[in-house]
Amino acid sequence: MASISLEKKQSVSLTKQSSSPLTRLKFGIGWDPVQKSGFFGKLFSSGDSIDLDASVVLMDASGNKLDTIWFRQLKSKCGSVTHSGDNLTGEGDGDDESISIDLTRLPANVEYLAFTVNSFRGQTFDDVENAFCRVVDQGCKELAKFTLTEQGKHTGILISSLERSGGEWTFTAHGLPCRGRVIDDMLGEIVSALVR
């Protein structure tokens, strides 16, 4: 099966998308700084670099936070989730930051994994373009991708989530603008969006 390109609020079963049982997933997140043109664009440019931070919060079925993986904690306490590290510019092709998950080691009480992108420096998404989130299985096959089309004055976004349900893993594209320079600032909005 080919990778599925999702629109905002669409979901896909990764379990059905993968040709083999899922054991590992990698979430790649990328973005580019908006290229400002003209004299004033260059004068007021922030050096054409955007420092966004990919993060993930692990939650139980009630939306209680179990752990947070971000640039200040690159590995989950249980050892099943690992962050690639901080990319300070967003330059280059492909994933700018990635988060790897060993599904076989993920604690049974983890029901939701919420993936966010934040601007720790306070740059807004008006300065960002080509932002995306994609999910790849253990065979390096891209299962699904969500490209963010909206910009705005917000400094954070709930870009996607992974939900465990009846032995299946479902990936949902959210694209939900949030306030907050770090993931903990957004927890209330994340819980409202995910927990039914």
Residue, of 117 and 88, whose pLDDT is higher: 117
Residue, of 19 and 94, whose pLDDT is higher: 19
The one-character DSSP state at 120 is T
Domain that holds residue 108: 4-194
The one-character DSSP state at 75 is B
Statement: residue 191 has pLDDT above 50? yes
CA atoms of 99 and 54, how far apart (whole Å): 8
Percent of the chain residues topping a pLDDT of 90: 54
CA atoms of 7 and 51, how far apart (whole Å): 25
Overall average pLDDT of the 39-59 stretch: 68
- pLDDT-based confidence at residue 122 (cuts at 50, 70, 90): confident
Residue 116 is predicted with a pLDDT of: 92
Task: Residue 40: give its domain's CATH number.
Answer: 2.60.60.30
Q: How many domains are there within the chain?
A: 1
